[in-house]
Amino acid sequence: MIDKKTLRSAEVLFDLGYAEDIGDGDITTNNLVPPDTDRTAILVAKEEGVIAGLAVAEMVFKKFDKNIEWKEILSDGSKVKPGDIIVEFKGNYRALLTGERKALNFLQRLSGIATYANKCMKEIEGHNVEILDTRKTLPGYRYLDKYAVRMGGASNHRFGLYDMVMIKDNHIQVAGSIRQAVEAIRFKVPKSIKIEVETTTLEQVQEALDADVDIIMLDNMSSKMMKEAVELINKRTKIEASGNMTLKRIRKVAATGVNYISIGALTHSVKALDISQRIID
């Protein structure tokens, strides 16, 4: 079930979407459709995928007609094929037409994320590794995007800059070294906050290992170098593989023995899942 923060973020985005899309009103629908007419509609999948965002779609339609009768045939996380009916709902005809695009914009994007996440999970079957998202989300959509990732079976990395220490190359340059960066920050943050360090060479891996960090990121390494890094670390800390992770590559990366594979494309290169609305009565 979708959480309150995620749904609230969708409401904020809806308000922005309403202003840019509807303005002073839907002049086509309002001049052609009688105001007191009810109709029944369905949302139908037009391709294979995984559904995410039904509560958001329901919220959108109920912004136009609070009395809409909403009957979910499937639920978030469900797999669909072309022709599958996802939801049947009944309400004011104007509300169904005016709310259609805004509801589908949310539902198609989130279902596209869930679908790709699920494809990634299938690729790493048989390996003890987690697929993670990144902060490469559409601004304002982070709660929604990360929710969709979970609906596809993958996991969330840190939510923002405030809930995990991530020491990258620019931080290391300022501090002078990985060791100095870790020492400078370790006693300034609560013990519950994990410290991760980005590395690009085996020498940096060793330095991060000596600094006793929680997670070592292997960034943009070849699969061969990753395997060497995994052997060097020898299960003394968690390992994340990152950088240029594609659907074709991740199974080979998973085989190196890393614990996590983070994939920016889960949320920054979304292909919307094709879903349509049909009036049936």
Of 90, 95, 126, 84, nearest to 22 by C-alpha is: 95
Which letter does DSSP use for residue 76 in this model?
T
Q: Is 133 helix (H, G, I), strand (E, B) or coil?
A: coil
Taking the C-alpha atoms of residue 90 and residue 40, their distance in angstroms, rounded to an integer, is: 4
Cα–Cα dist 45/275, whole Å:
5
Report the catalytic residues: 101, 136, 168, 198, 219
Q: Identify the bridge partners of residue 71 per DSSP, sorted by sequence position.
A: 88
Question: Tokens 């202003």 sit at which residue?
Answer: 19
DSSP 8-state class, residue 144: H
User: What's the farthest any 2 CA atoms get from each other in the chain?
Assistant: 72
CB 56 within 8 A of CB 10: yes
Question: Contact 123/97 with Cβ under 8 angstroms?
Answer: no
Query: For residue 141, which of 165, 115, 112 has the smallest C-alpha distance?
Result: 112
Strand ranges in the chain using DSSP code E only, listed in sequence order: 38-45, 49-50, 69-72, 79-80, 85-92, 130-132, 165-167, 195-199, 215-219, 238-242, 260-262, 275-279
